[in-house]
Structure 1
Amino acid sequence: MSHRNSRALLAVSLALGGLAAAGAVQAHGTMVKPMSRVYACYQGNPENPTNPACAAAKAAGGAQAFYDWAGVNQADAAGNHQAVVPDGKLCSGNNPTYTGLDLRRSDWQTTPIRPDAQGRYTFEFKGAAPHATREWKFYVTRETWKPGSELRWSDLEAFCTLGNTALSADGTYKLNCPLPKRTGPHIIYNTWQRSDSNEAFYSCMDVKFEGGSTTPPTWLDAGALIARGALPVDTSVELRVFNGSGGDAERVSTTLPSGQTAPTQWPLYVARKVNSSAVNARIGVMNNGVITPVASATANRVYLKQGFTHQVDIRTPGEDFDHLYPAGIGSYVPGQTVVKGSDGKLYACRPFPEGAWCNINAAAYVPGVGYAWRDAWLPY
C-alpha cells in the first residue's frame, strides 16, 4: 500500500465516534414551505385579505407589513432571541411593523405538514439579500399548546439546529430537519441569526400535522465523540454508516475551514453537516428525544438507528498514515496499515501472520513503546 502520494486517512472507527456545519450565505426572507404567517397573508391579497386573521392583522398594523414579508427582524439580537423578543411578540419578532401577526386567533391559514419516510421534512426559506449565517433554529409548540392562545417561549420545544446551507437554484434555502411527534394544529417557529452582524430574523409558521402521531426513529447511543485536539485547515471528515451486513448505507463528508478546527468547534461543524443530511445517524446531545450539537470536545455523542454501525474517516492534508494510533484498532490490515505513534513516528503493520498482533490493544504492542512492539510493527 503506497502512502507517499496520498493524503492521510485516519479511519477513526468509533464505537466512540463522532462528529454539524456553520457559516455560508443566507438572506433576508421568510419561510415559504410551510408558509410563514406573514407570507401567507402576502399571498392572500394584502389589500383585501381573504383570510379573516390576516384581515384583522391588517386592521391592527396595516398592509405594508405583508409587502415587507422579508423583514421580520431584530437588529441587535446577537443570538439572544428571548431577550429581544418577549412572550406574546414572537410572530412579529417584537418588531412594531408586524404587530398584527401576534393576534391571538385560531383561524390563521395553516399548511398541512407530514414527514417523509425517514421522519424528516425539508423547510424552504425564500431569500432576498445575502448575509453570512450563524445559526438556524427550529421550535415547535408543545402538544398541550392550544391554538389561539398567546405564544410564549415556554410553549416551544427546540427540535432542529443547523448552520450553513447552500442557496438552491430556485432562490430558497433547503433546511432538512427531523419532525417531532405532534398531532393537529401547531406553530413551528424559526430563528435565523446572521454571523456578519447582530441582526436576526424570525418566521412563525401555522401548520397542521397530518396522519396522526409521527413516531420519530429510535436513536441508539453509539458512544461519545472525543476531539483530542485541533485538526488542520482543509481536513476532510467523513461519517460512514454501515448496514447489518457491513455494506455502506450512507456517507456524509465535510471539509474543515479556517475557524472551525479547534477541538470544541470541529465536532459542532461536522455534526451540523451530518444532522442536516444523514438518514441513519445523528450527532449531538439528546434531550427529550431531540439531538442537538454543541460546541464541546467531549459532550457530543453519535446516535444510530437500530442495526447500523459507523466509522469516522479523517483525511488530513500532507500526512502519510492511515490511523493515529490507537484509533481504528481492530480494523488494521496486516502488511498495509500505517499508523502514527505517540512518539510522532510512523509504523507499518507487519505482514500476516505476525501482523495479527497489530490489532491487539495491549501495552506490550504499542508501536515504538511496548516491549514487544517489534512483534507487530515495522518502522515505516
Structure 2
Amino acid sequence: MHTSLACGNWMPIGCLNHHTQLFVGDMVTVTFYDTQGELVDLSFKYEIITEEQGGPHNWPRFVAEYINTHIPLVAAGRMTEQGLVVAYRSNQIYTLEGCGITRAELTFKCIAKCDDCQAVKPAYDYIYPEKCSAYNAGVKVLQPKTGLIYKCKPWPFSQFCNVKEENNPLYEPGVGESWHLAWQQISP
C-alpha cells in the first residue's frame, strides 16, 4: 500500500470490478492514459500462472497489489474509513489529482476456452462524470461510486444523462434519487 495516500486528493480512474473467470496462461492488460494517449511506461500485463490466481475473486486483488507495489502515482483498492484496503473483487483504481493520469482500462487476452472473456474494448465509454455534456442515448459509463456500469436510456430520457452531477445530482447514475429515469444498470 502507498504511504503517500494522505498526501493529496485521490480520484477514481478505473475499476477492477469484473466477474470474469480467468485460466492459466490468460493475460490481464492494464493500460493507463493521460490526455495525450497511452502511458506506455506505466501500462503492464499480468499473466495468470496458477489456477488460484484466475478466480474472479482473486485476480482483481492480485492486480491491485501489483499496482500498489509497482505503479507510481496510482493506487488500487477500496476506500474505507481506515484508508485504502485491497479487497477480493471490486477494487477501484485511483490516481493523484493533478498528476495527469486520466483513466485506466483493462483488457483480457484469453488463450484458454473462456466464454466470459472479452478482449480489446472496455465495457464502458466514460468514467462518470468525464465528458458528461457528451452523454446521449446508448452511452455507457462506469460509476466509480458504485463500481457498476450504466447505459443512458433512449430519448426522451437521454436528456437527463448529460446533466452534470453538481448541477443536478438527481440523475447521477446509480446514486441519484431519480437515476432510474435516465440510466439502466448493465453490470451486476
Name 2:165's counterpart in structure 1: none
Correspondence for 2:62 among 260, 265, 269:
269
Contact 2:13 2:93 (8 Å CA) reproduced: yes
1:251–1:293 Cα change, 3 Å? same
TM-score (norm 2): 0.53
Summarize the alignment of residues 175-324 of structure 1 with structure 2, pairs less than 5 Å apart.
178-180=2-4, 216-248=7-39, 250-258=42-50, 259-287=52-80, 290-295=83-88, 297-298=89-90, 300-306=91-97, 307-308=100-101, 309-318=103-112, 323=118
Structure 2: distance between partners of 1:359 and 1:288: 33
Letter paired with 2:9:
T
Q: Is the 8 A contact 1:252 1:273 kept in 2?
A: no
CA contact (8 A) 2:106 2:122 kept: no
Name the aligned partner's letter for residue 247 of structure 1: E
Looking at structure 2, the residues matched to 326 and 313 of structure 1 have their Cα atoms a distance apart, in angstroms, of 7
CA distance in 2: counterparts of 1:271 and 1:293, whole angstroms: 7
Give deviations 1:166-209, integer Å, cap 9, x for gaps.
Answer: xxxxxxxxxxxx3348xxxxxxxxxxxxxxxxxxxxxxxxxxxx
Larger radius of gyration: 1
Identity, % of aligned pairs? 15
Q: In the aligned structure 1, how far is the partner of 2:120 from the partner of 2:108?
A: 13
Distance change in 2, residues 1:220/1:362 (3 Å): closer
Q: Distance in 1 between matches of 2:21 and 2:113?
A: 15
- What is the RMSD of the two structures over their aligned residues, measured on CA atoms? 3.8
Q: Secondary structure at the match of 2:62?
A: helix
Shift of 1:224: 4.0
The 5-angstrom pairing of residues 320-335 of structure 1 reads 323=118, 327-328=122-123, 330=125
Q: Deviations over 1:261-305 (max 9, x none)?
A: 11111111111111100113221012358422112x33x111123
List per-residue Cα deviations over 1:207-231 (Å, max 9, x = no partner): xxxxxxxx62421023543222311
> Unpaired segments of 5 or more residues in structure 2?
127-137, 141-150, 155-188
Unaligned runs of 5+ in 1: 1-159, 161-177, 182-214, 332-357, 365-380
- The normalised TM-score by structure 1 is 0.28
CA contact (8 A) 2:20 2:56 kept: yes
Rate the CA distance shift 1:217–1:362 in 2: closer, same or farther, 3 A: closer
Q: Structure 1's 324 and 179: CA in aligned 2 closer, same or farther, altered over 3 A? A: closer
* Alignment CA distance shift 1:180-1:318 (3 Å): closer
Q: CA deviation at 1:330?
A: 4.5
Q: 8 Å contact 2:78–2:92 — kept in the other structure?
A: yes
**1:142-183 CA-partner distances (Å, limit 9, x unpaired):** xxxxxxxxxxxxxxxxxx3xxxxxxxxxxxxxxxxx3348xx
